[in-house]
Amino acid sequence: MSGDILETMAAGMTGRFWWLRNGVPQQPPTNGHIRRNEDGYWVVEVEGWRSMENGTESDDERYPDSMMGVLGKGTVFLSDRRRLTDFSLWSGQRIHVVRSTFETAATGLDVNTVEADGIIEAEILFPNQNPWDRSERPDWRYRDADEPLGRGASLDLPTAEATRLAIGDGVTLTVRPTWWSDRDIEQIRINPALSLKLSAAEPRPTAELVEAFEWMQDLIGHCWGGRVLPVPGASKVNSVQVEPGRFWSQRLFKHHHVQLADLSHPFPAVHLPDLGGPRAFVRWVALCRHFSRATRAVSEGLYVGASAETRLLNAMAAIEYWVKRHEGRPDWAKVWSTGPVNPMHALIRHLKPAFKPWVRDGAPFSQRIWNDYNWLKHNPEFEVDYTLVRRFTWAAETMLLADLLNEVAGTAVPGNRLAAHRWQLRETVQELLRDKSRSAPPSRWTSP
């Protein structure tokens, strides 16, 4: 199967499709058409049950959530259905058409060997991650005429061993530096990349693999300060598949209308070695599984542009949750012994001295943002200072992210680097705190 099969499918292809129920292809197959819409979803239109000779089902909910197809240039497995609609066409007879929208696609399978509703291997590549993972860079060099290849130029790609780590539930993560190429008009560009591959002995639901990839994508994005998009890698539907196909997930490859990270400069806030190397991915995945109320609060900014009020409510609720979950740990005992005024203040004291240049002892900052949090919930007449709330909330999210990254690394290095990297936000917060008439906590409000 050609390497550009995903782009060929995106433009539109016809083929024969089978619905998969519990991994079993449903007979008979149906003719249909597949394309990729502007939002990155795979849209498949096939003839529905009602217009088939032996079809009796008419309830749309009975259509399975995955299917496979044989196309003009290969095969495809589609899963994670997000929408299903149906309509009728009249061309001498009534034809019932079912339009399904799928999030995930894996190509190259043998349709005669599919026995499960899932895949065993998926890979994504993150381009231009050499400044972040600190792997060895490719080396361009000019060849002399007496060398075996003659005069010219060569690109020597470094060889690096892959790191294999278990992330739980029988899934293995493989991390390795690699390279990828893309074509621009008449040029082919070769770039360093970071490969993340998830594999399992038995087929796993694609939604589980995509969720783990999404968490790891968030970790890279946090270090760069924006969403980082990967490119499709390899995939296998089952162990019978000899040649790997291609893997696509709408959740991973689309920017979702938010700001992307600037990868043109070699200065991420935190590097992978600061987090402990490839094992940081496993620790971050564990945090996302067991402390999702905290990790989601810092990650949602990579996906959606929420209002100032929503960001404040989410950030403070997450900080309160994170602090309460750790108040019994020995490294938090000193924090509570000094009597913090609220959970935000406790987090600041736990992170000292990283954020001392930002908010000094943290009391005025934490009192103001915590009062705004409570007033926003309970006082319908509360007037929001949007500039202050946005900057203070961003600072609070930065502090929570710093503690999460410290938890991943087991050291305070990530938090210190993050605090130093976001110096412009630090100066804005300092300026607002110096204006005491603006940043002082409001007078106490009591409900009528």
Domain boundary among 113, 140, 162: 113
Q: What residues does 85 pair with on adjacent strands?
A: 99
User: By the 8 A CB rule, do 319 and 343 touch?
Assistant: yes
| pLDDT of amino acid 440 | 85
Domain boundary among 196, 226, 253: 253
Residues 239 and 201 in one domain: yes
Give domain status of residue 281, yes or no: no
Tally of domains within the chain: 3
Residues 298 and 434 in one domain: yes
Closest alpha carbon to 67 in 29, 123, 35: 29
Residues 404 and 354 in one domain: yes
| pLDDT of amino acid 54 | 44
| pLDDT of amino acid 409 | 97
| pLDDT of amino acid 303 | 81
Domain boundary among 85, 113, 141: 113
Residues 339 and 317 in one domain: yes
| pLDDT of amino acid 149 | 81
Tokens matching residue 123: 């890979």
| pLDDT of amino acid 49 | 60
- Strands (E) in 185-290, as ranges, are 187-204, 231-236, 245-249
Residues 315 and 422 in one domain: yes
Per-residue pLDDT 10s for the chain (448 aa) are 345 788 889 999 999 999 998 888 888 888 999 999 998 999 999 987 654 444 444 444 467 889 999 998 889 999 999 888 877 766 666 677 889 999 999 999 998 888 888 999 999 999 889 889 888 777 777 888 888 888 888 777 777 788 999 999 899 999 999 877 776 666 677 778 899 999 999 999 999 999 999 999 999 999 999 999 999 999 999 999 989 999 999 999 887 777 888 888 888 999 999 999 999 999 999 999 999 999 999 998 888 778 899 999 999 999 999 999 998 888 887 787 777 789 999 999 999 899 999 999 899 999 999 999 999 998 888 889 999 999 999 999 999 999 999 999 999 999 999 999 999 999 999 999 999 989 887 666 544 3
Residue 386 belongs to domain spanning: 291-439
| pLDDT of amino acid 93 | 65
Give domain status of residue 267, yes or no: no
Residues 96 and 67 in one domain: yes
Give domain status of residue 261, yes or no: no
Closest alpha carbon to 228 in 121, 106, 122, 129: 129
Give the Cα separation of 384 and 11 in Å (integer): 48
For residue range 220-264, what is the model confidence (pLDDT) as tens digits?
999 999 999 999 999 999 999 989 999 999 999 887 777 888 888
The three-class DSSP label of residue 100 is strand
| pLDDT of amino acid 134 | 84
The residue whose two tokens read 């019978």 is: 240
pTM: 0.89
For residue range 117-156, what is the model confidence (pLDDT) as tens digits?
899 999 999 988 988 988 877 777 788 888 888 888 877 7
Residues 59 and 192 in one domain: no
Residues 108 and 126 in one domain: no
Residues 95 and 147 in one domain: no
